[in-house]
Structures are given as structure tokens and as C-alpha cells.
Structure 1
Amino acid sequence: MADTKREIERKYEAGPGARLPDLTGVRGTAAVTDEGVTELDAVYYDTEDLRLAAASITLRRRTGGADAGWHLKLPVAPGTRDEIRAPLEDGVPPFLAALVRARTRGAELVPQVRLRSRRDVRHLRDAGGTPLAEASTDTVRAERLTGGRGGTAEWTEIEVELADGGDPAFLEAVDKRLRKKGLTPSSAPSKLEKALRETGWRPAPDPREDGTAGGRVLAHLRDQVRKLLTYDAAVRRDLPDSVHSMRVATRRLRSAFRTYRKVLDPAVTGPVGDELRWLAHELGVDRDQEVLAERLTARIDTVPVTLLLGPVRGRLRAWAATGRATARHRTLSVLDSERYATLLDSLDALLADPPLRPAAGEDAGTVLAKALLKEHRRLAGRVDRALALPAGHDRDVAMHQARKTAKRVRYAAESATPVLGKPAKRLGKRVKAVQKVLGDHQDSVVARATLRDIAVHAHAAGETAFTWGLLHGQEEASAAERERELPAVWAKAARPGRLRT
């Protein structure tokens, strides 16, 4: 079994023999207690080419201290990581290996660095004796086990880690005191990265944008690929909203391929885009089930108890639980598949050797504005067509097509905002409002189909289908209301404005 701890900390450079400055009185610190000295011995694992280190991920097996065992640390924000723990065993625990599979993709995890630390621990406590933070002075000796030029390194650092549930503002106050005492923040976010740097490793820097269309588009693609890999681990951990976030990253990538066909050769990006569509569809099984269950539950909550006839809540819970279990299993199978690993390899290859077309070398503002305006014209045509159709199946389909196009325009506007500025940002917000109306309409279409299926099963089981029919009628009314809203919302987004730098 594994457990997770949110780690919020600050690290500071310190010279040999350094001692922790007096922190009594800092933001409610009534006492600083001596918790003794601990000897720690940790071996860090990574691929031969240090893929985890390049992503600021650490995986170690540590003995000594109160939390001996395997620790996988995933970055959340600067100074904040999720530490996932597993008991001591000889090999890398399969659960932890799975969480970094999108990074390793079959490459073996091998010992890379050994860190032996002497940790002098202090607890910062409030007047009631409750710990506010743990401050330690660590004397570290690092040994590079493979590939290093320097072999070993030694240093001393001071680390302050916020207590569980503590206020991050407390670390700001501690930081101010330590800086006044002459300490400087560590140049490396983790001991492992410092050890690697001290023994010859340098992470590859991200390419800088050069003002060209190709530079901006590639920067956007790199950002989305990073998010895709980050959300992979979050989905495997079953974190809230993780499936949706990962699905959005796949859609933004595919949308960029289609929008910027003048920049990137569609003969190369097209097959990758097809695989991204497959991935988004597979992830949608889980996400769509979750969204629909929430929508129907909210509907039921508004129905007067006198109109809840039959085991309505129980049937919905059973439907949701069955669908959720099936969707969850399917999602994890996809993330462990060879097809998915091949897609990730294809994205890496595309970024390493991008299929740039002549327009990639042109001014970013000009090229991105033209691409965005072209997508906006396509959206205008689809919205006009949907509004011209009578209510019914054909209009439902047309509105769904308009919704997908609105999403692409929004993504294009957001990716172009760093270059085009406020006009693109403003257009993105207005189109997002259009997308929201169209999205709620499509959710109603899907909900009605599901309600009919549930009603059929309820009837077959000898239950009354009255409440399901009532909910179906509410969804019909909701869809009609969205159709009436659309013209006014679209009118605000129909004119894109001047999109030039």
C-alpha cells in the first residue's frame, strides 16, 4: 500500500558547520525544540538518460528516519511536491513505477545517485505545542553511481518544511527571517538535482521563442505535451478533474495541428492528430460518465420528494457505479497500452524534429492572426447553419458541430494571446461563452438518451418510469432554453475585432 503527503518546503544554501538561526517569534513560533539527529541513506533511481530528473521527479529508496521506504516525489508547483510513499522492498514498487511509465516508456529504472545525510532536526511550535514546521540542517554526501564526471559531492543545506495542514504564509515569514540572517535559497529544487549538477549533469534548456510563427506554435505544443505527461500520473492516482485536464491537453494539441497547418506539415501532424483523437475519445469514456452522473444527480436533487417515485436515487447510483468501474478500468488499460506509448514517442519526435513549413519563419503575429480569423469564419458558418435549422435532430447535430469548432477557436485564441495580446484574449473569452451554451445543449442531448435507457431498465424491473420521464422533460426544456440564448451570446463573439500585433 502507498500513502501520499503534500510536501511544501524551502531549501537554503549553507556553509560547513552552519547552524539554524533562531526562529523564535516568527509568525507565532513560541518555541523551537531539538528533535535530535538522524542518519539517512537514500538511493535514487532513474533511467540511464535521467528522464525523471529532467521532469523534476525523484524516486528513491531510503533507510533511516521515521519514514523509511520508497518515495516518489511529483512536482505540483515551485516548492511544492506530492510525496507518494510505499514500504521498503528490494525492487521499485510496481505502483510507483506505473506512475512514471509515461516518462520511462519501458526504460529500466536503475540506481543513479546515493545520498547519505546527517539531519539535525528542529520543530517550530506554537504556544500550544503544535508543530508549525520542521527545520533541519542537512550535511550531505552524494555519490554518483553511474555516468557522472565528478563522482562525489558534499554540501550543507537548511530545509524548512511546512507541517501538515499548515499555512504556506508561515514559510514566507520564515524565509524573510532566514534571508535577513544571510541565507540564500538553494539553486536546486531538490537534493538529487544538486547532486546531479555537482557531478556533471545539465538539464537540456527549453528552446527560446524567436518571434516567428514556428517558435510560438512549438512553444505551445511543448507546454501541452508537458501537461499531458503530468496529468498521466494524476489520472493513474485518480485525482479529481485529472481525466478532464488530460483530455483537454490532447484536444489542444490536436486543435493546434489543425489550426496551424500553414506552420506545421499536416502530412506529419495528421497521423499524430488521429492518435490524439483516439486518446481523447478513450479518456472521454471516464470523463463523460462522471459529468453525466453529476448532472443527473443535480437534477434529482431539485425534484420534490412527492415526485420521486420508485428507487430513483438507488438506480442512478447503481448506474453510475457500474459505469465508473468500467470506465476506470478502460482508462488505465489505455494508459498502459503500447499504442499510447507510441503516441508519446511520436510527440517527442515531432518536437525534436518539427515538420516546419515556410510560414513557420514568418512573423508570429501575422500568421497566428490569419489562422485565428480563418477558424472564426468557420465557426460563424456553423453557428448560422445551426440557427437556421428547425428544432430537432438535425439542429442538435449542427449545434454539436458548432460547439467543437467554438472550442478550436477558443484554443487558437488562447495559444495566440502571448503574441496578439488583449484582442485575442477578449475573443477567447467571448467564444468560450458560446462554447458553454453549445456544450450545455449537447450535455442535454446526451442526458436525454441516457435517461431513456435508464427508464427502459426501470420499467423492465417493474418500477415506475415516471420520474425518469419528468427528468427527460426538464432536459428538453433546458436544451430549448440554450437554443434561445445562443443568438445573443453569439452576437458578442461574431466580430473578432482587429487581431494584429
Structure 2
Amino acid sequence: MAETKREIERKYEFTTATRLPDLTRAAGVASVTGEGVTELDAVYYDTAGLRLAADSLTLRRRTGGKDAGWHLKFPVAVGVRDEIRAPLSETLPRSLAGLLRSRVRHAEVVPVVRLRSSRDVRHLRDENGTVLAELSVDTVHADRLLAGEKDGAAATATWTEVEVELADDADPAVLDAVEKHLGKAGIHPSDAPSKLARALDETGLASGAPDLVPPDADGSAGAAVLAYIREQIDDLVRLDPAVRRDLPDAVHKMRVACRRLRSAFKTYRKVLDREVTDPIGAELKWLAGELGHARDQEVLEARLREGLDALPREQRRGPARGRLRTWDGVRSRAARRRALDALDSARHLALLDALVALHAGPPLRPAAGRKAAKVLPKAVVRDHRRLADRMAPALDLAPGHERDLALHEARKAAKRARYAADAAVPTLGKPAKRFAKKVKKVQSLLGDHQDAVVARGALRELATQAEQAGEPSFTWGVLHARQEAAAAAGERELPRVWERAAAPEIRAALSR
């Protein structure tokens, strides 16, 4: 079973000429206790092309110390990483292999560097004896296990460094206080973000190159669209392990990346050949659909729970909260299993391969070579007109099922128009931002309307289940009426919001 630990640490250069200062003078530190010397032996793994290193991920199998086992580290921010641990075993645990899948895909993970460290540990404690941070002086010996790529580079390297890691639940300010005193003693932050990065550099291994190389910023429509597509592909790869770890909002963000890519392929069809992008778009639609069950259930459960919490006590009849938890638990587990099955499928890997290949060898059309400032506004305006063509008939319909369906289709068009403008922001600047903001308001209002429509269906299901179990269904009926009222209020507000987004000057500003 893998466990996760948030690691907040800083690394510093250290030589035989430097000495550790008296850190009890650092704010908050009352004592420093020696904890002895530990011998650590770690083998770091990566693909032959160092794909993990390219994304600042580290995978190691370590013996010695109190946390021997497999460790996989994901960057969170500068000096902050999530370390996912699994028990020591001869082969890579499946729990960690899945988290690497979107990055390594079909490539084999092999040993690249071995690091043996002699770690002299000190605990920095407050006046109550509580550990604030762990300071270690590490003497490191690195051995390259892959063929080197730098001429004349040695296969081994040795150095000493200081590492200060914040204790769980401690105030990060202690790291600033310690760094201040280390600096006065001539001990300065390391240029290397990690031991692995330093080992790769000093033993002659390249740091790894990302799958997606930024296009030349030549002002062309092709470069602008490919830069946007690269961002979305990066998100798909990065969010895959986040979904597996069940991190907050990960499913939603991954689904959005799928939709943004599909929209870009359609919006900028004069830049990229749709004979190539349409099949990939179909696979993105499949993936977004598989993820959608989990995301839709997240949104639906939150809406129903908030509605239930807002009811006066006298309108909450029977075991409504328990009924909602049971109903959501069954649906959420099934939806999550479906999402994970999709990520584990060969179809998903094939989609990632196809996206990387498309970016590496894009099917550019003649418009790709033209100036982005000329091509992109026309595409955004075209999507805005498409939205207008759906909004007008939807608003003319009488309230009811047909109007609900028409507004849902308008919502899809609003998303596409907004995504088109988002892709054009680096080229068009503020006019594209203002355009996207106006359309987003329409999209959000239509989204709230659709959520109310879906919630009413779920409430009817919950009412039926309650009645079959001999429970009062009154509460579910009250919530149903409230969702009807919310949808009606949104429909009344929609013409005003749409009028602002439909103003001709909004489109005209894009082409100035």
C-alpha cells in the first residue's frame, strides 16, 4: 500500500571549509540534537531518454534509514514535493507504475544512477522539545548506471550538501530563519533542485528532453495554435497521476483539457488538417466521456448536499442525509472505477502517443503560415456566430424539455467560443480576454441551468428510492421545486447576459 508525504525542504552547498553555525539563534529554535549517522543506498530509475527527469519527477529504490522502500516524488512548487512511498520490493510496485504511465507509456523504466549517502542528522527543536525541522549533512557518492552523453564526463561524482526538511505541521517560517543563519556562515542554496539532478549533470547524463518541444514563436498561426495544443497535452499527461491519486478537481481539469483540445481542432481547422485531427478528437471525446461520469457525480452530489443543508430543519424529513450518502457512494465508486479503467487502457496510451506525434509532426494547412493576428480572430468570430445561431432559437422556445435541450447545446457552443478566445489571448491580448470573459458568463449561466435540470432527475430518483424504503419523500420534492426555481431564474437572466456577450463591438475589437 502506497502512502503520500508532503516534503518541504531546502538544499545548500557545503564544503570542508564551511561549518554549521549555532542554529539555536534562529527564531523559534531552542535546541539542536544529534541523531547519529545513517548510511543510505538508493538506485534511481528512469527511461533511457530520462522522461521523468525532464518533468522533474524522481523514482528511487532505497535501502537504509527509517523509510527504506520505493519513493516517487512529484513536484508541487519550488522546494515542495509529494513523496509517494511503497514497501521495499525487488520490482517496481504496481501502485507506482500506474502513476508513471502517462509519462513513460511504452518505455521501460531502468536504473540510471546509484547514490550512496552518509547522512549526519540533527533535529531542530522548539522550547517544548517538538521537532521543527531535520537538518542533515549528506556526503554523497554517485555512480552512473547508463551510458553517458557528455564527452569526457566521469562516471562517478562526490559532493557534500546540507538538507533542511520541515517537520510535519511545523511553521514554514522556521526554514527562512534557518536559511538566514546558514547564509551568514557562508552556506548558500544549491543550484541543483535535487540530488538526482546534480548526479545526472556531474556524471555526464543529459537531464532529459520533454516529448513536446515549444514551436518557434514566429508569429504564425501554426505556432500559436501548436503552443496552445502543447499546453493541453501537457495537462493531460500531468493530470493522469493526479486523477489516480484522487486529488481535488483533477478529474474536472483533465476533462477540460480534453475539451479544449477537441475545440481547438475544430475551431482552427484552417490551421490543422481535420482528416488527421478528427480521429484524435473522437478519442478525446471518448476519454472525456469516461471521466465525465466521475466529474458529473462530483458536481451533482455537491449541489444536492448544499441544497439539503440550506433547507429549514422542518423541511428535512426522514434520513435524507444518509439516503444521499448511500446513493452517492454507489454511483461515485462506479464512476471512479470507470475513470481508472480508461486511464489503464491501451486506448488511452494510444491517444497520448497520437497527440505527441501530432505535435511533433503537425498536419499544417496553408493558413498555418499566415500571421496569427490575421487568422485567429476570424476563427474566434466564426465560433461566436455559431453560438449566436444556437442561442437565438433556444431563447425563442417556451420553457420545457425542448428548451432545456436547446440551452444545453448552446452551452457547448459557448464553451467552444470561450476556448477559442483563450487560445488567442497570447496573440490578441486584452480584446480576446474581454471576449472570453463575456462568453464565460453565458457559459456559466447555461451550466448552472443544466446542473439544475440534471439535479431534478436525480431528485426524482431519490424520491422513488425513499418511497420504496418506506421513507418520506417530502424533502426530495422540496429540493426538486427549488431546482425548478433556480433553472427558471437562470432563464430569466440569460437574455441580459447574452445581450452583453453578443454585442457586435465585442467581435470587432478582436480584429483591430
TM-score range (shorter-chain normalised) is over 0.9
Contact 2:387-2:413 at 8 Å conserved across structures: yes
Instruction: Deviation per CA, 1:260-279: give whole Å up to 9, x if none.
Output: 21221111111111111110
Q: Distance in 2 between matches of 1:370 and 1:134?
A: 58
Q: Distance in 2 between matches of 1:258 and 1:130?
A: 58
Aligned Cα root-mean-square deviation (Å): 2.1
Deviation at 1:304, TM superposition (A): 2.8
Q: Distance in 2 between matches of 1:237 and 1:138?
A: 31
SS of 1:28's equivalent? coil
Q: Distance in 2 between matches of 1:181 and 1:93?
A: 43
Letter in 1 for 2:36: G
Q: Distance in 2 between matches of 1:348 and 1:480?
A: 45
Match of 1:485?
493
Match of 1:267?
275
Match of 1:10?
10
Alpha-carbon spacing, 1:41–1:322, altered in 2? closer, same or farther (3 Å): same
Q: Distance in 1 between matches of 2:79 and 2:378?
A: 40
Letter in 2 for 1:222: R
Within 5 Å, give how 1:242-253 maps onto structure 2.
Answer: 242-253=250-261
Q: Tell me if 1:197 matches 2:208.
A: no
Alpha-carbon spacing, 1:82–1:255, altered in 2? closer, same or farther (3 Å): same
Deviation at 1:17, TM superposition (A): 5.5
Q: Tell me if 1:307 matches 2:312.
A: no
Contact 1:20-1:136 at 8 Å conserved across structures: no
Indicate the larger mover: 182-191 or 438-447.
182-191
SS of 1:166's equivalent? coil
Choose from 221, 225, 228 the match for 1:217.
225
Q: Distance in 2 between matches of 1:440 and 1:263?
A: 33
Contact 1:19-1:137 at 8 Å conserved across structures: no
Within 5 Å, give how 1:316-327 maps onto structure 2.
Answer: 316-327=324-335
Match of 1:100?
100
Contact 1:309-1:467 at 8 Å conserved across structures: yes
Choose from 280, 285, 289 the match for 1:277.
285
Q: Tell me if 1:414 matches 2:422.
A: yes
Which runs of no fewer than 5 residues in structure 1 stay unpaired?
Answer: none
Indicate the larger mover: 275-284 or 89-98.
89-98
Indicate the larger mover: 257-266 or 472-481.
257-266
Match of 1:20?
20
Contact 2:144-2:155 at 8 Å conserved across structures: yes
SS of 1:118's equivalent? strand
SS of 1:216's equivalent? helix
Contact 1:20-1:137 at 8 Å conserved across structures: no
Q: Tell me if 1:345 matches 2:356.
A: no
Aligned residues: 501
Contact 1:113-1:145 at 8 Å conserved across structures: yes
Contact 1:18-1:156 at 8 Å conserved across structures: no
Instruction: Deviation per CA, 1:284-322: give whole Å up to 9, x if none.
Output: 111111211111111122223333333322222211111
Deviation at 1:122, TM superposition (A): 2.7
Match of 1:368?
376
SS of 2:13's equivalent? strand
Q: Distance in 1 between matches of 2:53 and 2:252?
A: 26
Deviation at 1:382, TM superposition (A): 1.9
SS of 2:164's equivalent? strand
SS of 2:509's equivalent? coil
Indicate the larger mover: 391-400 or 417-426.
417-426
Contact 2:19-2:185 at 8 Å conserved across structures: no
Match of 2:412?
404
Contact 2:18-2:186 at 8 Å conserved across structures: no
Letter in 1 for 2:393: R
Q: Distance in 2 between matches of 1:13 and 1:226?
A: 33
Deviation at 1:22, TM superposition (A): 4.2
Give the % identical residues.
Answer: 62
Alpha-carbon spacing, 1:448–1:156, altered in 2? closer, same or farther (3 Å): same
Q: Distance in 1 between matches of 2:436 and 2:180?
A: 40
Deviation at 1:400, TM superposition (A): 0.8
Q: TM-score, normalised by structure 2?
A: 0.92
Match of 1:390?
398
Contact 2:51-2:208 at 8 Å conserved across structures: no
Instruction: Deviation per CA, 1:105-139: give whole Å up to 9, x if none.
Output: 24332222100112222333333333332222222
Q: Distance in 1 between matches of 2:18 and 2:176?
A: 21
Q: TM-score, normalised by structure 1?
A: 0.94
Match of 1:160?
164
Match of 1:233?
241
Match of 1:63?
63
SS of 2:61's equivalent? strand
Letter in 2 for 1:185: P
Deviation at 1:365, TM superposition (A): 2.5
Deviation at 1:34, TM superposition (A): 2.8
Match of 1:498?
509
Letter in 1 for 2:190: S
Alpha-carbon spacing, 1:6–1:457, altered in 2? closer, same or farther (3 Å): same
Alpha-carbon spacing, 1:361–1:124, altered in 2? closer, same or farther (3 Å): farther
Instruction: Deviation per CA, 1:4-52: give whole Å up to 9, x if none.
Output: 1111222233335644344443343333333332211101122222222
Match of 1:47?
47
Q: Distance in 2 between matches of 1:453 and 1:75?
A: 43
Instruction: Deviation per CA, 1:323-347: give whole Å up to 9, x if none.
Output: 0111111111111111111111111
SS of 2:70's equivalent? strand
Alpha-carbon spacing, 1:124–1:462, altered in 2? closer, same or farther (3 Å): closer
Contact 2:271-2:368 at 8 Å conserved across structures: yes
